[in-house]
Structure 1
Amino acid sequence: MTANITSLTDRLGPHARPDARRAASTASLDLHNACTAAGLSLSALPSTERPGQVDIGWVAPETADELTRLIRRSIKQALRASERLRAAFHARALDIPDPYVRHGRIELGQLPLAAADRLTGLLGGPLPDPDVELSYWPEAQLLIARLCKAFKQATRGGFLDPQFHPDCLHCNAEALLALGSIPVATARRLADALESHPEPA
């Protein structure tokens, strides 16, 4: 096995750093062995054109389909959590983009301030004076604080780090909160909270 790794490394030439060549050789061999074990016809080799990278070459559609299936199976819990959260958002008529899975976490996307305000109330947080203009910087920061506190309580310790994007007169874009991503377990607890909390008065 060591001889195989050495011969693959030698193909990379002198342009890649030794640690990069070694990493590419090890990664390509691991991927090749994993694909072989899974019955996938995929040849992973250290790239000769891009030293330090792994070249998987061209694959048949059947191989791509099977690889997709295996990856989706590995993130099944995350996909289920994002779908459940999507259903909870829709059931509450929240103006929030559909959540999706990225890097094993649930991305919540951006939402209008009115939707963030309503989400805060749905999670048990206090509601502001209806005459307050949420898009002003101080009021938006207070909204973020209320949302984060309600989110933490509703999800039993979950962390949310919203970023405020003010409205833009130049491009006529409304003010938004970018909610970022949350772990799968937190997404499940958020769905629990939205499914169980009554509508605020």
Structure 2
Amino acid sequence: MTANITSLTDRSGSRALPEARRAAATASFELHHACAAAGLNLSALPSMERPGQVDIGWVSPETAAELTRMIRRTVKEALRASERLRVVFRARGLDVAEPYVHHGRIVLGEISLTTADHLTRLLGGPLPDPDVDLSYWPEAQLLVARLCKAFKRATNGGFLDPQFHPDCLRCDAEAVITMGSIPVVTARRLARALEHAPGSA
């Protein structure tokens, strides 16, 4: 194997490569053989234009499609959790962007303050004063705290790190809360909690 890796490193014009180039050569070799074992027509080589990077070149639509299927199989649990959340969000009347998978986690995106309050109540959080303006900074911070507490209790210890972004008169943007991302197991617990919530508020 060492000889084969060395032959790949020679393509980039040096026998004594820096660590980054050696890492690229090793990664190229392993990716090339993994693709060959999987029947994928993909040639991975150390990049000659960008030392330390791996060049996979052009691939056919068939190879790209098969590679997509293989990757999706590895993240199928995350994709299922994302889809389950999408369905339950819609069923509960939560006006949120569709959750998606990124780096193996479920990204929840951003939601309005009204939706955040709705979600908090569905998760068993306390009701706010009906006369309170949620966009007022102190009240928005209290809403974030209520949401985190309700989320943690409903997901059996799940951690949520929402960030409040106030409205902007200059760009005419409404106040929102960025929900961040959560692990797959927490996403499943969130979906289950919403599925068994008493009802829409």
TM range (shorter): over 0.9
The answer on 1:105 being equivalent to 2:122 is no
| Corresponding residue number in structure 2 for 1:27 | 27
Question: What is the CA-CA distance between 1:115 and the residue it aligns to?
Answer: 0.2
Aligned equivalents of 2:12 and 2:137: distance in 1?
Answer: 54
Identity of aligned residues (%): 75
SS in 1 for 2:164: strand
Unaligned runs of 5+ in 1: none
Compute the displacement of 1:200 (Å). Answer: 6.5
The structural deviation recorded for 1:167 is 0.3
Q: Show the counterpart of 2:125.
A: 125
Displacement of 1:17 in angstroms is 6.1
| 1:99-136 Cα distance to aligned partner (Å, 9 max, x none) | 01111100000000000001000000001001111111
Matched, 1:54 2:54: yes
Aligned length: 200
Match of 2:115 in 1: 115
Aligned to 1:178: 178
Letter of the aligned partner of 1:191 in structure 2? A
Q: How does 1:66-85 map to 2 (within 5 A)?
A: 66-85=66-85
3-state SS of paired residue (1:178): strand
Q: Conserved in 2, the CA contact under 8 Å of 1:44 and 1:55?
A: yes
| CA-CA distance at 1:7 after TM superposition | 1.8
RMSD, matched Cα: 1.3
The residue identity in structure 2 corresponding to 1:33 is H
SS at match of 2:106: strand
1:109 aligns to what SS in structure 2? strand
d(CA) in 1 for partners of 2:100, 2:13: 41
C-alpha separation between the residues in 2 aligned to 1:112 and 1:64?
Answer: 37
Alpha-carbon distance between aligned partners in 1 of 2:12 and 2:51, rounded to the nearest angstrom: 6
Instruction: Tell me the equivalent position of 1:148.
Output: 148
Q: TM-score, normalised by structure 2?
A: 0.96
Give secondary structure in 2 for the equivalent of 1:145.
helix
CA distance in 2 between counterparts of 1:118 and 1:17 reads 57
In 1, are the aligned partners of 2:92 and 2:200 still within 8 Å (CA)? no
Once superposed, which parts of structure 1, at least 4 consecutive aligned residues long, lie more than 3 Å away? none
CA deviation string 1:86-108 (max 9, x = no partner): 00000001011110111110000
1-structure distance, mates of 2:13, 2:109: 43
Q: For residues 95 and 129 of structure 2, what CA distance do their matches in structure 1 show?
A: 20
AA aligned opposite 1:101: V
- What TM-score do the two structures reach when normalised by structure 1? 0.96
Residue 22 of structure 1 and its aligned partner are, at CA, apart by: 1.1
Secondary structure at the counterpart of residue 177 of structure 2: strand
